[in-house]
Amino acid sequence: MKLMDRRTWLLVGVLVSGCSSSSATPPPDAGADAATAGDAGGKPCERPGLPVPADPGAKGPWAVGAKTVTVGGLVHEVWYPSAPGTAGANKVYDLRDQLSPEDAAKIPPEKAPKQVCDCFEGLPIDAAHGPYPTIVFFHGTAGFRTQSLSQMTHWASRGFIVVATDHPKLKLADALQLDVSFNADFGANSNVLLDAIAARAAEVSFLGTSADLGKLGAVGHSAGGGAAARFTRAGIRVRIPMAAGGTTASPDLVSTLVLSAERDTVVVPKSQADGFASSPKSKRFAVLARAGHLAFSDICETGKENGGLLNIAKDAGIFVPDLLLRLGTDGCGADDLPPADAHKAVSALTTFVLENALSCGPSTGFADVTKNLGPILGTVSEEL
């Protein structure tokens, strides 16, 4: 295959974001549990646990624990509410680990792109206030499990267990090697971890019985957004495709949030608008004003002091296709929506929907959330 052909293939891989219906079988108690959730027609109930701020954009009361685990030959990350009074050192992710060993060795330690997490390595889970609804996050093509770290730690701070997997053939290292695949099985990869949690496998024994796998949310970005829409497992009540499209009906689904970026040149905003129009109710839609494709991730900030993640790689002599360099900076311009504003909006919008459907409902409404975000948002819509 010629190089240009493979670059085109990579572009198409990034654009993969279609969705199809889930064929999951609902758990025996799905109907009863769903009836108490805000989007399922029941009365809102109080969330168990520590007092959680009414503003879904506000950080929650839990310090976030984090642990990297290897299950089924795949690398996964788990973020979770930690026991009150525990403390530790902030976890730092060195993104050279997301490169091939040969490429990683080319970047000196002082230029290493790192993510300092608002989370702490290996803290004990807060078992007293669980079990906690579980959120599965799917990264996009050329992404990695921590690409949207700000959002995932935000959810965990408010009483969710959050899991993410490095998906082979769609990771950053694969894209740099022009070795992405249409056949990467997001769902099977993530189910490996969820099955281990359900079985209380040794690798995830630190969670104990605190993960509620009967109340699941699926969230993803770009190709991962398509995966979130297709993910098959009983108990998936919320689907949130970001820069990806919409959803179709599935047995346990009670809520969809479609998020779009006004300046996205990778997955054009019309596809998200069309996806929202075809998604089942209850559903919500929001467009980030002046934002590009990467507004739903932390990629624009990562390594910014040294020119950004891909420029660091390029300066170190790692081959970075021009096409990938362009796509890997979409939304990172000086006149694009600042990352802090993007994170504020995405955290508030996603948390509202997740809590409304999985944690018995927030004390505010979607209109209030969007109003508080003001000019950060463009078009918004809600159909219940």
Q: What residue type is assigned to position 142 of the chain? A: A
Condensed to tens digits (0 to 9), the pLDDT of residues 246-302 reads 999 999 999 999 999 999 999 999 999 999 999 999 999 999 999 999 999 999 999
Q: Which CATH number fits domain 3-19+44-383: 3.40.50.11890, 3.30.420.40, 3.10.620.30, 3.40.50.1820?
A: 3.40.50.1820
The verdict on whether omega for the bond into residue 282 sits within 30 degrees of 0, i.e. cis, is yes
Q: Compute how many other C-beta atoms are within 10 angstroms of the C-beta atom of residue 195.
A: 14
pLDDT tens-digit map of 10-20: 444 444 333 33
**Structure tokens given for 63:** 């310090």
The arithmetic mean of pLDDT across residues 126-132, rounded, is 94
What is the pTM assigned to this prediction?
0.89
pLDDT digits over 212-254, tens only? Answer: 999 999 999 999 999 999 999 999 999 999 999 999 999 999 9
Q: How far apart are CA 79 and CA 66, in angstroms?
A: 4
Instruction: Report yes or no: 139 and 77 within 8 Å, Cβ to Cβ.
Output: no
Residue 169 makes CB contacts below 8 A (sequence gap 6+) with: 179, 180, 181, 183, 184
As a whole number, mean pLDDT of residues 71-82 equals 97
Query: From residue 291, how far is each of 62, 369, 378 by CA, in Å?
Result: 30, 19, 10
pLDDT digits (tens, 9 = 90+) for 169-215: 999 999 998 888 777 899 999 999 999 999 999 999 999 999 999 99
- Return the pLDDT at 363: 63
Determine the Cα–Cα distance for residues 180 and 9; give it in Å rounded to an integer.
Answer: 8
Q: How much is the pLDDT for 19?
A: 36
Q: Which amino acid is at 50?
A: L
DSSP codes joined into one string, 79-130: EEEBPTT---PEEEEEGGGGS-HHHHTTS-GGG--EEEEEEEETPPB-GGG-
User: 312: part of which helix (H) or strand (E)?
Assistant: helix 309-315
Q: Give the start-to-end residue ranges of the domains of the chain.
A: 3-19+44-383
| CA pair distance 55, 344, nearest whole angstrom | 11
